[in-house]
């Protein structure tokens, strides 16, 4: 496909630009629908006239409809959406960026979404949708899926769908943390199970527990079942946190904060705090510690977005082998700069 595109761009560069723009507009409408032209133009950082022209062409082809609520896809668009996504990504350099990240991080499958989640919440929704698409591809009947919480994971849950019910058990990979119920791992697990027609379990535990307390709680049948499911999970999908942010959120002690500072921790996942090289510098007591390292065939998928997460993403990929990474363009470009620039570590 890439070779064909190179030929076409040499023969008719003006037409290729139009085709690429239409693919970009169509794939963005899928995420934001129903959406008005002005809002879409702002999201894509394009002149409204370009969005209007692309939308008019797509409407003429029967791929989108327009009404007072905005633009949305027609049933005819469903079959062309995957190709439109791939074309848009290739035309605007995201495919090459994905390939670069795959090599630099040693992650076989990388998806990069356009934009910067630090400045545009819509990008977070698109990262979540891309993660949902990847997870759905990896899921098979009979699997156990473990998921963490957080805003990105919540967006992923709302992007999940399945035409037929899936015999999948979805479990929270972390206990409760903070006060936002809608982004807790329990809520994310329940929403995914509902959308794919699977099953789920709830973990009625705070995320931080000392070993003695956990041993006592393990005697309860419902807690024991959750821990046993986590020990044999097939697919782990998790967010990646910045060490400083997660230390605050988890209310670590002053002594622990000092350790993180001295050891230059940059990332966190499952209670593990690690430095830029992926070396663990602190392990907070948590029910999810060790998730994903428990058997050889566990598949790990990391999901994180925003330029500020770049160092944490690098550290997480070095800390534990991942099958897939879903991120955004700002984080991806910062990662490339960090690993290929003069100060690469």
**Structure confidence at residue 327 (pLDDT):** 97
| Chain position carrying tokens 């129903």 | 34
Q: Which domains does the chain have, with CATH numbers?
A: 2-90 (1.10.10.10), 94-340 (3.40.50.1360)
The neighbouring-strand residues paired with 112 are 327
At 254-287, the pLDDT tens digits run 999 999 999 999 999 988 899 999 999 998 766 5
What is the distance between the alpha carbons of residues 184 and 206, in angstroms, rounded to a whole number? 11
pLDDT at 292: 47
CB atoms within 10 A of CB 190: 17
**At how many degrees (to 10) do helices 2-11 and 81-91 cross?**
70
pLDDT digits (tens, 9 = 90+) for 58-106: 999 999 999 999 999 999 998 899 888 888 887 777 888 999 999 999 9
Cα–Cα distance list, 156 to 120, 139, 159 (Å):
17, 14, 5
Instruction: Give the predicted TM-score (pTM) of the model.
Output: 0.84
**How many CA atoms within 13 Å lie on the side-chain side of 114?**
18
Helix H or strand E encompassing 272: strand 272-275
CA dist., res. 44 & res. 138, Å (int): 30
Low-confidence ranges of the chain (pLDDT < 70): 1-10, 12-13, 175-180, 206-211, 214, 218, 285-296, 341-345
| pLDDT of 335 | 97
Report strand pairing: 235-239 vs 144-147.
parallel
Q: Are 154 and 183 in contact (CB under 8 A)?
A: yes
Output the DSSP codes for 286-323.
Answer: -TTTTTT-SSTT-EEEEE--SGGGHHHHHHHHHHS--S
């Amino acid at each position: 496909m890439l070779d064909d595109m190179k030929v076409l761009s040499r023969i008719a560069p003006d037409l290729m630009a139009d085709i690429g723009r239409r693919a970009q507009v169509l794939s963005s409408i899928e995420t934001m629908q129903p959406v008005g032209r002005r809002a879409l133009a702002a999201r894509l950082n394009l002149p409204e006239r370009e969005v209007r022209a692309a939308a008019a062409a797509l409407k003429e082809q029967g791929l989108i409809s327009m009404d007072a609520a905005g633009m949305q896809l027609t049933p005819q668009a469903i079959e062309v959406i995957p190709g439109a996504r791939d074309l848009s990504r290739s035309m605007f350099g995201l495919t090459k960026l994905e390939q670069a990240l795959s090599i630099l991080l040693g992650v076989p499958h990388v998806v990069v979404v356009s934009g910067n989640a630090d400045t545009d919440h819509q990008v977070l929704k698109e990262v979540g949708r891309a993660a949902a698409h990847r997870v759905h591809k990896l899921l098979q009947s009979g699997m156990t899926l473990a998921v963490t919480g957080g805003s990105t994971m919540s967006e992923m849950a709302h992007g999940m769908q399945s035409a037929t019910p899936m015999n999948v058990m979805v479990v929270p990979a972390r206990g409760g943390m903070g006060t936002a119920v809608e982004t807790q791992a329990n809520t994310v697990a329940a929403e995914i199970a509902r959308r794919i027609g699977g099953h789920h379990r709830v973990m009625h535990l705070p995320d931080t527990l000392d070993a003695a307390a956990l041993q006592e709680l393990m005697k309860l049948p419902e807690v024991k079942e959750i821990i046993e499911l986590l020990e044999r999970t097939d697919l782990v999908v998790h967010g990646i946190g910045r060490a400083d942010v997660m230390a605050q959120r988890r209310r670590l002690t002053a002594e622990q904060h000092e350790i993180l500072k001295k050891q230059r921790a940059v990332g966190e996942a499952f209670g593990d705090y690690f430095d830029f090289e992926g070396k663990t510098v602190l392990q907070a007591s948590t029910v999810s510690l060790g998730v994903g390292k428990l058997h050889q065939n566990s598949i790990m998928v990391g999901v994180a977005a925003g330029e500020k997460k770049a160092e944490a993403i690098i550290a997480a990929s070095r800390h534990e082998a991942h099958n897939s990474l879903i991120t955004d363009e700002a984080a991806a470009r910062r990662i490339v700069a960090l690993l290929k620039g003069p100060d690469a570590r």
